[in-house]
Amino acid sequence: MRKRIIAGNWKMYKLSNQAADFAEQIKERITASDKVEAVICPPALYVTDLLKRFETSAVKVGAQTMHDTDEGAFTGEISPAMLADLDVQYVILGHSERRQYFNETDETVNKKVVAAHKHQLVPIVCVGETLEQREAKETVSIVSAQVEKAFADVTAEQAKKSVIAYEPIWAIGTGKTATAEDANEVCGAIRHKVETIYSKEVADAIRIQYGGSVKPENIAELLSKDHIDGALVGGASLDPEAFVQLVEAGTHVE
Q: What confidence score (pLDDT) does residue 127 get?
A: 97
Is 11 within any annotated ligand binding site?
Answer: yes
Q: Which amino acid is at 144?
A: S
Is 161 within any annotated ligand binding site?
Answer: no
Is 235 within any annotated ligand binding site?
Answer: yes
37 falls in which pLDDT band (50, 70, 90)?
Answer: very high
pLDDT greater than 80 at residue 107: yes
Q: In this predicted model, what pLDDT tens digit does every residue of 126-165 receive, in sequence order?
A: 999 998 899 899 999 999 999 999 999 999 999 999 999 9
Q: What confidence score (pLDDT) does residue 171 get?
A: 81
Of these residues, 37, 67, 95, 117, which one is catalytic? 95
Which domains can be identified in the chain, with CATH numbers?
A: 4-252 (3.20.20.70)
Question: What distance in Å separates the CA atoms of residue 186 and residue 170, rounded to the nearest whole number?
Answer: 14
pLDDT greater than 90 at residue 112: yes
1 falls in which pLDDT band (50, 70, 90)?
Answer: confident
Long-range contacts of 12-21 (CB under 8 A, 24+ apart): 12/43, 13/43, 13/238, 14/42, 14/43, 14/46, 14/238, 16/45, 16/46, 16/49, 19/43, 19/46, 19/49, 19/50, 20/49, 20/53
pLDDT greater than 90 at residue 172: no
Beta bridge partners of 232: 7, 211
Q: Does the active-site annotation cover 221?
A: no
Q: Does the active-site annotation cover 117?
A: no
Q: What confidence score (pLDDT) does residue 213 get?
A: 87
Is 62 within any annotated ligand binding site?
Answer: no
Is 141 within any annotated ligand binding site?
Answer: no
Of these residues, 97, 104, 129, 167, which one is catalytic? 167
Q: What is the Cβ-side half-sphere exposure of residue 135, based on CA atoms within 13 angstroms?
A: 4
**What pTM does this model have?**
0.96
Mapped onto helix, strand or coil, the DSSP state of residue 189 is helix
